[in-house]
């Protein structure tokens, strides 16, 4: 493929994307932005917790009337920033295309990425729009629990550092299948590993694509379908033309932009509090709006809290994650699931040495840790400066809190700065989605092209040109399928897909990777049984969990809304616009009171939102049992070679010097 063709294709992608973003909407969506990677636990009663040494509760301060807020980006400024970011990343693709000549270049950037660069790229791959918008939004509405949610992702990288980073880099080549097939029967193992990889990538990709469409529709007024197609064209262009090199640099650029935006906004939040952390948290505890918000949250559990006690409760656990077992299960899935994510594992094949692999994880941990500290400041800052009630008025899930905060704090300095800050963070969120989906497409296409086509169908007999062409064609197909799924999922609740991705990665992928690397008796039967049972169990449990929609339960909630609104009308009060919309929605929901969930259930069988506490031990048990029931002498004999290779790197191809 000539450079001229690449430039023409890149220019076409930019033109189509720009046209897509410039198109006027017919009906702007009022739904939430990026789908947050949050899983609410089953409701349970939690006793009230008061501040240590607190005396009698202070009388509740009267909160100010809820100010109706709007969040609408300046279209000209925002689209201009989008165009700049797209232009920069397409220039990277053109440069990367010249470097991408072999299969190793396409899948692993020739192993020529430094530890520092890979650390930034891992951070860019990991810090999704869900974590950027969703976690800060959770903190703004639920306080401490939102922060605890982010801790799982940070701690996850300790697992990655200690268990999989160095051994995977030394034992593998491009994919999960490479690691698992080294001392097993390669064809069935690669086939099953590819299916698992595609499943995880598809679940996570769909959530990101739907988030991109909703975000663009809400903020810039771009129709959902147009936004999905625009994002899809760009992600396919990044992967097809630039491979891992382009994807890596897009992720590095995105990580730099995201950290810059979060840092700048955090400085403005702290400036509002005079850079005094004690005063900052005093503002939270003494805010009448936060106190009122918390008192309503705990009232649902039969607890009465007012005044400073309610404000203090915002800084304590239990407002969102109320069931301890659900917290443990979610934590297990996040901590162990990250180490089994295919697009994260692929990143360790891009560095030249095991030392660089370790360094990249440590750098990523510092970047991601810093990022989550900043999102904590942004979440609490949004609660103080915007009020939880104001945030909910724009988006009940709180996903727009960071963007609203950027607009307000900028406007406090100068009106144009509010539009500039909002446009910048919208562009960063957009770049975030592009970077994450590109990594997911690359992981899925590698599993299909490298594992299935080259090693199963062609039995490993394919020249470099054929392998690269297979990789590019597969990436194009995976991207096209991703676009189609994104378009079909417009009306669907995709929050459960994030739970599915982490559940499959932690229950299916991680057990077999760990046992392949560290257990002598592990073999083909163990890999297949672990992957199949772990994957099926995790998907099955999520399908009967509260993640799914249960029409009968929805109808019960809707009936309560209708009764409340009718009482309000009977008392002579006029319904607000928000109340009217809620009543209309409730009446529609009640009509489906005899409906059932996708699995034909009236209510969830499993009360946990994430099944990790059940499915992860089940995945390990299935893998161990399979290996013990069907022992294989060859697998045991080859363990010494795997052990030496994973600890020394002997047999790994040297990095290509570009």
- pLDDT tens for 206-223 read 888 888 888 788 777 788
The model's pLDDT over 455-466, given as tens digits with 9 standing for 90+, comes to 899 888 888 888
Report the range out of 76-90, 289-303, 564-578 with the highest average pLDDT: 76-90
Torsion of the alpha carbons at 39, 41, 47 and 49, rounded to the nearest 10: -10
pLDDT in the model for residue 22: 36
Residue-level pLDDT at 488: 85
Determine the Cα–Cα distance for residues 468 and 442; give it in Å rounded to an integer.
12
Q: What is the pLDDT of residues 583-611, one digit of tens each?
A: 888 888 888 777 888 788 888 888 888 88
pLDDT of res. 588:
83
Assess whether pLDDT exceeds 60 at residue 10.
no
Question: Is residue 656 scored above 70 in pLDDT?
Answer: no
Of 261, 494, 323, 286, which Cα lies nearest the Cα of 397? 494
Q: Which two tokens stand for residue 440?
A: 């997911």
What residues have CB less than 8 Å from 313, skipping those under 6 apart?
48, 49, 50, 143, 294, 298, 305, 319
Q: What is the pLDDT of residue 473?
A: 93
Predicted confidence band of residue 618 (pLDDT cuts 50, 70, 90): very high
Quote the strand ranges of 75-132, DSSP E.
none
DSSP state of 301: T
Write down the mean pLDDT value for the chain: 81
pLDDT number for residue 141: 93
Name 459's Cβ contacts closer than 8 Å, sequence gap at least 6: none
Reply yes or no on whether the pLDDT at 326 is more than 90: no
Q: Is the model's pLDDT at 626 over the cut of 80? A: yes
| pLDDT for 617 | 95
Structure tokens at 138: 């959770």
Q: Which residues contact 4 (CB under 8 A, 6 or more apart)?
A: none
Q: Using only C-alpha atoms, what is the Rg of the chain? A: 25
What pLDDT shows up at residue 73? 77
Q: What percent of the chain lies above the pLDDT cut of 90? A: 32
| Nearest C-alpha neighbor of 247 from the set 441, 98, 439, 446 | 439
Predicted local distance difference test score (pLDDT) of residue 69: 65
- pLDDT at residue 397 in the model: 80
Please enumerate in sequence order all residues whose Cβ is within 8 A of that of 99, keeping only pairs 6 or more positions apart, or say none.
105, 109, 110, 245, 658
| CB-based contact 150:375 (threshold 8 Å) | yes
**Each residue's pLDDT tens digit, 184-202:** 898 999 999 999 999 889 8
pLDDT given at position 62: 54
pLDDT tens per residue, range 120-132: 999 988 887 767 7
Q: How confident is the model over 346-369, as pLDDT tens digits?
A: 888 888 888 888 899 899 989 988
Confidence band, pLDDT 50/70/90 cuts, at residue 496: low
Is the CA virtual torsion 372, 502, 399, 229 positive or negative?
Answer: positive
What is the pLDDT averaged over residues 422-451? 89
Q: Are 193 and 451 in contact (CB under 8 A)?
A: yes
Residue 455, C-beta contacts closer than 8 angstroms, at least 6 positions apart: 177, 181, 186, 187, 190
Q: Return the sign of the alpha-carbon dihedral for residues 472, 475, 477, 480.
A: negative
φ/ψ of residue 127, rounded to 5: -80, 85
- Kindly report, residue by residue over 137-190, the tens digit of the pLDDT: 889 999 988 877 777 777 887 888 778 787 887 776 788 888 888 888 989 999
pLDDT of residue 37: 38
Mean pLDDT in residue range 411-433: 89
CA 132, CA 123: separation in Å to the nearest integer?
12
So what's the pLDDT on residue 525? 95
DSSP notation for 448-511: IIIIIIIIIISTT---HHHHHHHHHHHHHHHHHHHHHHHHHTTTS--HHHHHHHHHHIIIIIHH
Which CATH number is correct for 3-48+71-497, 1.20.1740, 2.30.30, 1.10.760, 1.10.10?
Answer: 1.20.1740
pTM score above 0.95: no
* CA distances in angstroms from 566 to 244, 555, 574, 593, listed in the order given: 58, 16, 10, 19
């Amino acid at each position: 493929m000539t450079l001229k063709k690449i430039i023409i294709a890149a220019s076409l992608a930019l033109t189509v994307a720009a046209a897509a973003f410039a198109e006027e909407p017919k009906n702007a969506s009022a739904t939430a932005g990026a789908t947050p990677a949050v899983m609410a636990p089953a409701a349970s009663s939690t006793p009230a917790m008061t501040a240590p040494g607190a005396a009698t509760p202070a009388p509740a301060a009267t909160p100010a009337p809820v100010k109706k807020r709007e969040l609408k980006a300046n279209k000209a400024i925002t689209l201009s920033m989008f165009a700049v970011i797209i232009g920069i990343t397409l220039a990277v693709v053109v440069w990367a295309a010249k470097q991408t000549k072999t299969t190793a270049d396409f899948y692993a950037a020739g192993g020529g990425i430094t530890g520092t660069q890979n650390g930034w790229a891992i951070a860019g791959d990991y810090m999704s729009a869900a974590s950027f918008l969703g976690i800060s939004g959770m903190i703004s509405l639920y306080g401490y629990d939102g922060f605890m949610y982010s801790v799982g992702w940070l701690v996850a990288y300790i697992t990655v550092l200690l268990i999989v980073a160095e051994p995977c880099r030394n034992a593998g080549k491009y994919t999960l299948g490479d690691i698992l097939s080294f001392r097993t029967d390669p064809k069935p193992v690669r086939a099953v590993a590819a299916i698992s990889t595609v499943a995880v990538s598809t679940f996570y990709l769909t959530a990101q694509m739907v988030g991109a469409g909703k975000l663009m529709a809400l903020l810039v007024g771009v129709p959902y379908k147009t936004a999905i197609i625009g994002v899809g064209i760009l992600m396919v262009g990044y992967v097809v033309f630039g491979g891992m090199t382009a994807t890596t640099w897009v992720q590095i650029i995105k990580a730099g932009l995201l950290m810059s935006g979060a840092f700048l906004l955090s400085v403005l939040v702290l400036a509002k509090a005079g850079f005094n952390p004690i005063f900052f948290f005093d503002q939270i505890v003494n805010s009448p709006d936060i106190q009122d918000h918390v008192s309503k949250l705990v009232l649902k559990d039969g607890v009465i809290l007012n005044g400073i006690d309610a404000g203090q409760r915002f800084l304590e656990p239990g407002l969102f994650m109320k069931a301890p077992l659900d917290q443990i299960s979610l934590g297990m899935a996040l901590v162990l699931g990250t180490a089994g994510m295919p697009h994260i594992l692929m990143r360790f094949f891009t560095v030249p040495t095991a030392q660089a692999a370790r360094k990249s994880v440590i750098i990523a941990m510092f970047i991601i840790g810093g990022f989550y500290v900043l999102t904590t400041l942004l979440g609490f800052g949004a609660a103080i400066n915007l009020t939880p009630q104001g945030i909910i008025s724009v988006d009940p899930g709180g996903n727009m809190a960071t963007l609203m905060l950027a607009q307000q704090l900028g406007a406090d300095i100068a009106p144009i700065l509010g539009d500039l800050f909002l446009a910048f963070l919208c562009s960063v969120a957009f770049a975030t989605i592009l970077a994450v989906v590109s990594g997911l497409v690359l992981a899925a296409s590698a599993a299909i092209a490298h594992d299935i086509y080259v090693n199963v169908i062609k039995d490993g007999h394919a020249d470099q040109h054929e392998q690269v062409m297979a990789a590019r064609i597969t990436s194009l197909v995976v991207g096209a399928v991703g676009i189609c799924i994104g378009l079909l999922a417009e009306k669907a609740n995709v929050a459960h897909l994030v739970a599915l991705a982490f559940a499959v990665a932690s229950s299916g992928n991680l057990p077999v990777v760990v046992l392949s690397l560290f257990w002598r008796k592990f073999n083909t039967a163990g890999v297949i049984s672990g992957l199949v049972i772990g994957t099926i169990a995790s998907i099955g449990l999520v399908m009967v969990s509260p993640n799914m929609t249960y029409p009968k339960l929805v109808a019960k909630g809707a009936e309560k809304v209708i009764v409340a609104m009718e009482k309000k009308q009977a008392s002579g009060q006029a319904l607000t616009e928000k109340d009217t919309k809620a009543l209309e929605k409730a009446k529609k929901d009640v009509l489906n009171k005899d409906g059932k969930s996708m699995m034909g259930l009236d209510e969830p069988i499993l009360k946990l939102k994430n099944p990790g506490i059940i499915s992860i031990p089940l995945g390990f048990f299935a893998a161990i049992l399979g290996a013990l029931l069907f022992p294989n002498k060859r697998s045991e004999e080859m363990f010494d070679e795997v052990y030496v290779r994973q600890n020394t790197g002997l047999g790994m191809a040297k990095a290509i010097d570009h």
